[in-house]
Amino acid sequence: MPTQAFRNVAISVTLVLICSAAPADHAAPNLVEHAEVLTADGLAAWVLERNPGIIAIKATAEAAAFRIEPAGSFDDPVMTYALAPLTVGGNQSLNQRFDLKQKIPWPGTLAARERAAQHEANAAELDIDLLRLRVVAQAKATYAEWHFVHSAMEIHHSTQNLLDDLISTAETRYAAGRALKQDVLQGEVEQTNLEKHLFGLIRLEATVKARINALLNRAPSEPLPPPGGLPEVTELYALESMQRLAMAQHPELAQLETQISASESRITLAEKAFYPDLQLDVGYNRLWDATEKRTTIGVSINIPFNRSKRRSELGRAQAERRSAEWTLIKRRAGLLADLANAHAEVVEAKSSVDLIHDRLLPLSAEYLEAAIADYQSGIGAFLNVITAEQRALDTELALARARSDYARRVAELERWVGGPVDATAASTSGAQQ
């Protein structure tokens, strides 16, 4: 069975393959392009279905499952045939000998070998679950960025329309002699700055599109539908509940526990090696003249003379079990720490969303409305309007970013918990079931 280090390397390599661009699969139905909108759950489902890394891990698990039955089976019997060449073609009967030999391991050896193979197959299956968690978290985080860039573009377009109206108002007032030319110029400068910022968003859109298409095993420039929305900022499980869930259901811990079970089976195998294996021999020998001597039945055993070698194998198996046990203890503590950190980040992100949405956004909107009203009435400066517009733009962009960060951090939190963290949704789902 591969060690945990080897398994982690294998999964990391698979994730690199997952994240790298690959040729588009034109033969497969392009469900993404036919969708009206792209959602986080939809993207995650498509990634799991289309990504070659997942398929490769499934094939590895299937191969491990095929090793279970042979591990618990007897070796093939060995048949030996011999003849006396000088009796061929003579007047006397052909002298021949048949022998059939079957190796029979010490009782319990085959069962221990089969259990070890079963545990290894279970660990391979858990590799799939572990990779699914990582891929889904990555897909949802990338989707959150896709949603942000589209929201930011909409905000910029809306601000652009507002500036068009403000510049038109400034031009009207300037033509009437009630405003300065610099008011119009200030509006045009701000309009140019917006266009410059939009270029950066267009570049970000192309980057995020390429990342999503890489996850979907498609060419980087393949079209994608617009985002549908982000998960609502809802009530989460309490941290203590999440910790209990992680300890009970996270596949990484289950995998380590499976490795401990596998190492215990290998200890049993090492202990069985101190006992001899049996070999049943059945033969028919015509070299004997007497008929009653021709049929033979016998038993042979190996002599486990080299006990130091067997003690070394047993010691190695016991050391591997201790290593697996301490690795599990260490990973439990590490997982709890990762979970607590991710939970704190979600709480922080939620607080940021609430603060911007409930306080900053209304204040910036009111500030902008007041500045526009003052300018239109002739008591306020156009520079105040531009300043208020900039603050309103920054606030809306900050809210879009905060919502995206919240969704991304929730996805990461679900990775460490090993499942959903929305208490409301989970309870509703449970009631429906």
Give tens-digit pLDDT for 201-253: 999 999 999 999 999 888 998 999 999 888 777 777 889 989 999 999 999 99
Rounded mean pLDDT, 186-193 = 90
Q: How far is CA 72 from the centre of its chain?
A: 32
User: Which residue did the predictor score with more confidence, 129 or 397?
Assistant: 397
Rounded mean pLDDT, 179-184 = 86
**Quick count: other Cβ atoms within 10 Å of Cβ 113?**
21
Choice among 1-5, 155-159, 266-270, 427-431 with the minimum mean pLDDT: 427-431
Q: Name which of 97, 113, 186 is nearest 388 in CA terms.
A: 186
- The H or E element containing residue 297 is strand 295-301
pLDDT (tens digit, 9 = 90+) per residue, 268-312? 888 888 888 888 888 877 766 667 777 888 888 887 777 888 888
Q: Name which of 205, 209, 211, 148 is nearest 407 in CA terms.
A: 148
* pLDDT attached to residue 13: 35
Distance CA 412, CA 410 (A): 5
Cα separation values, 332 from 196, 248, 341, Å = 48, 11, 14
HEC profile of 376-399:
HHCCCCHHHHHHHHHHHHHHHHHH
Take residue 361 and report the two structure tokens written for it: 């956004």
> Across the chain, what does the average pLDDT equal?
83
CATH number of 4-73+107-268+307-426: 1.20.1600.10
Distance CA 92, CA 286 (A): 12
Q: Is 79 helix (H, G, I), strand (E, B) or coil?
A: strand
Residue type, 315: G
| Whole-structure pTM value | 0.77
Whether the pLDDT of residue 266 is over 50: the answer is yes
β pairing state of 78-83 and 96-104: antiparallel
Q: Name which of 69, 118, 66, 67 is nearest 261 in CA terms.
A: 118
HEC profile of 159-228:
HHHHHHHHHHHHHHHHHCCCCCHHHHHHHHHHHHHHHHHHHHHHHHHHHHHHHHHHHCCCCCCCCCCCEC
Tokens 């698990």, located at residue? 61
Rounded mean pLDDT, 332-339 = 95
Distance CA 297, CA 101 (A): 10
Q: How confident is the model at residue 87 (pLDDT cuts 50, 70, 90)?
A: low
Percentage of the chain beyond pLDDT 70 is 86
Cα separation values, 183 from 132, 163, 165, 195, Å = 56, 12, 13, 19
Cα separation values, 200 from 148, 160, 196, 226, 420, Å = 13, 16, 7, 18, 34
214 contact partners, CB below 8 Å, separation of at least 6: 18, 19, 20, 21, 22, 220
Distance CA 60, CA 193 (A): 53
pLDDT (tens digit, 9 = 90+) per residue, 17-42? 334 433 344 333 455 666 788 889 88
The gap between the terminal CA atoms of the chain, to the nearest Å, is 38
Distance CA 86, CA 339 (A): 81
Cβ atoms 411, 395 nearer than 8 A: no
* pLDDT attached to residue 31: 56
Whether the pLDDT of residue 73 is over 70: the answer is yes
Distance CA 402, CA 147 (A): 12
Distance CA 418, CA 331 (A): 14
Take residue 58 and report the two structure tokens written for it: 């499934």
Strand order in the sheet with 96-104: 78-83, 96-104, 278-285, 295-301
β pairing state of 295-301 and 278-285: antiparallel
* pLDDT attached to residue 413: 94
Compute and round to an integer the Cα radius of gyration of the chain: 36
Take residue 188 and report the two structure tokens written for it: 């045009």
User: Which residue did the predictor score with more confidence, 423 or 174?
Assistant: 174
Q: How confident is the model at residue 8 (pLDDT cuts 50, 70, 90)?
A: very low
Choice among 92-101, 189-198, 243-252 with the minimum mean pLDDT: 92-101
